[in-house]
Amino acid sequence: MTRVKMEDVAKLAGVSKSTVSQFLNKRYEFMSEETRGRIENAIKSTGYQPNVIARSLKVKKTNTIGVIVANILHYFSTAVSRGIEDYCNKHHYNVILCNADDNPQKERIYLEMLLAKQVDGIICATTGKNNELLKDLINREVPLVLIDRKLAGIEMDGVFSNNEQGARDAVAHLLAIGHRRIALLSPDLNGISTRQGRFKGYRQTLIAHGLQPMDEYIKFVKSTAEVKESISDLLHMPEPPTAILCTNDLTTMEALHVLKQGNVKVPETIAIIGFDDSPWVDLLDPPLTTVNQQTYEIGLKSAEQLLTRIEHPQEKKFHEQILDCHLTVRKSCGIKN
């Protein structure tokens, strides 16, 4: 592949390797116009491209960060990674994007791969099942920032959504337009902070409005198959809920599927709020009211934080950023009052 190396251009330019190196690193200060020109030409005519791997080995810096997303099929993940990428590109870092696929095993393998590749730092939306490893990285002062999901009891840099507030706003909206029997459809909590936060926001808001959260209205599902069951349960209760808050996009999608199949009218029979935007939600019938995270900003800010951490790996103070969610009201909740 890349045959030509620094020595070749040095020879051609009639200078030494080190001079070429100086040139490449833009340390022109002590270089004559002439040598400079000769080197430039030599590079052009040979088509020389530096081998960053050799460079990295020497300078112990790869200018590359690793990003582990939970599941690249989620719009959330791609949007976040765009933010990260934009920030990194601007600051001359490359990113290696890894898809953990909601699989702790894969997450672990990727973490190790990234370390082996000597990345300068890692942004990770963790599955929550590799806490020891993550903690160990912190101890070893590997620059690391968490996104999306936070780890209980571990101090780390991170940028997260305010999931409680997001759920609160959603429920408050439902209450405001007249709903009283509000159900929650969530993937199994599984110790995952985002889900817990949303659950908590849901409960709090009901209680704050003098309503008692009812266990029968709260459905935790382990698979999409269970969504069908849960929805059916809800609809067949003596007092069925008039609204469902779905706390992630896959459950939302599945719920809408099921409702559609069963010819259940949204929002007339049941109102729906989902989490996370996607370009499609506007096109649904009715357009879906959603709680939106600041996905792109999460990407931007996490990258920013990681790069500052890379510059101060020893810094003992960790920095946590919480970004508010924003409720986008469309038509899937109707207007009840």
Partner DNA sequence: CTGTTAGCGCTTTCAA
Partner DNA sequence: TTGAAAGCGCTAACAG
Q: Is 54 in the site for DNA (CB under 7 A)?
A: yes
Interatomic CA distance for residues 53 and 58, integer angstroms: 9
When the beta carbons of 79 and 123 are compared against its own copies, the nearer one is 79
When the beta carbons of 137 and 206 are compared against its own copies, the nearer one is 137
β-strand pairing of 326-328 with 289-292: antiparallel
Residue 188 touches which of DNA, its own copies, none (CB < 5 to 8 A by kind)?
Answer: none
* Type of residue numbered 111: L
Burial of 151 (0-12, 13-18, 19+ CB in 10 A): middle
DSSP type of residue 119: -
Interatomic CA distance for residues 314 and 141, integer angstroms: 7
Q: Is 92 in the site for DNA (CB under 7 A)?
A: no
Residue from 40, 46, 47, 50 in contact with DNA (CB under 7 A): 50
CB 317 to DNA: min, Å:
28
CB 15 to its own copies: min, Å:
22
Q: Is 24 in the site for DNA (CB under 7 A)?
A: yes
Q: Is 273 in the site for DNA (CB under 7 A)?
A: no
Residues in contact with its own copies by CB under 8 A are 1-2, 49-54, 56-57, 62, 64, 72-73, 78-79, 81-82, 85, 94, 96-97, 99, 112-113, 115-118, 140-142, 253, 256-257, 260, 278-285
Q: Is 31 in the site for DNA (CB under 7 A)?
A: yes
Residue from 35, 64, 161, 193 in contact with DNA (CB under 7 A): 35
Beta strand ranges found along 108-229 (DSSP E): 121-124, 144-147, 157-161, 182-187, 218-221
Residue 96 touches which of its own copies, DNA, none (CB < 5 to 8 A by kind)?
Answer: its own copies
CB 116 to DNA: min, Å:
9
Interatomic CA distance for residues 334 and 317, integer angstroms: 46
CB 334 to its own copies: min, Å:
16
Interatomic CA distance for residues 115 and 103, integer angstroms: 18
CB 135 to DNA: min, Å:
23
Task: Evaluate the omega torsion of the peptide bond into residue 279 and state whether it is cis, within 30 degrees of 0.
Answer: no
How would you label 57-91 residue by residue, b for 16+ Cβ within 10 Å and e otherwise? eeeeebbbbbbbbbbeebbbbbbbbebbbebbeee
Interatomic CA distance for residues 158 and 206, integer angstroms: 29
Q: Would you tell me which residues interact with DNA (CB under 7 A)?
A: 5-7, 14-19, 21-22, 24-25, 29-32, 34-35, 50-51, 54-55, 57-60
